[in-house]
């Protein structure tokens, strides 16, 4: 059995995770706008950096493949945003990045990880289920949606 975190075992050559910097925000925001109908703004990302949240980007070679924002409260991690660039989707980056975040949170003494996902986002729900998350609640009308609001499903996994 290897002592390496799962994310390092599964990562192909040239796949890295590093801390997000202010210089990454323009590209991160472009990816965010390409993926979501109601995207975070550059200000949301700047605020996350300023607040000391765990802001990470993953790269595949020279390309920014995705990013994630996570916060820690006492012994719980809360994943606020995880996004993979459209042209990088379907290559395992989301799974590897989420494994990396779980390993990182565990290493910081976190015992559980929470996240919200749109009720309509079945692809993400399937990924979270595959990685050991289970639904523990619903936040009614949490997300903006065309013609109203959409529920968020709350998922949790033990670390």
Where in the sequence numbering do the catalytic residues fall? Answer: 116, 128
Q: Helix/strand/coil (H, E, C) string of the chain?
A: CCCCCHHHHHCCCCEEEEECCHHHHHHHHHHHHHHCCCCCCHHHHHHHHHCCCEEEEEEECCEEEEEEEEEEECCEEEEEEEEECHHHCCCCHHHHHHHHHHHHHHHCCCCEEEEEEECCCHHHHHHHHHCCCEEEEEEEEEEEECCEEEEEEEEEEEC
């Amino acid at each position: 059995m290897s002592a390496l975190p799962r994310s390092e075992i599964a990562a192909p050559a040239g796949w890295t995770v590093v801390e997000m910097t202010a210089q990454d925000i323009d590209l991160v925001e472009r990816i965010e706008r390409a993926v979501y109908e109601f995207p975070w703004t550059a200000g949301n990302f700047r605020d996350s950096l300023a607040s000391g949240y765990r802001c990470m980007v993953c790269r595949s070679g020279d390309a920014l493949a995705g990013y994630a924002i996570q916060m820690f409260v006492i012994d719980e991690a809360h994943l606020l945003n995880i996004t993979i660039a459209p042209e990088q989707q379907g290559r395992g980056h989301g799974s590897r990045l989420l494994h990396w975040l779980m390993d990182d949170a565990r290493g910081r003494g976190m015992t559980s990880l929470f996240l919200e996902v749109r009720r309509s986002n079945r692809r993400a729900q399937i990924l979270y289920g595959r990685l050991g998350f289970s639904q523990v609640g619903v936040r009614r009308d949490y997300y903006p949606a065309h013609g109203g609001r959409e529920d968020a499903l709350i998922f949790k996994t033990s670390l």
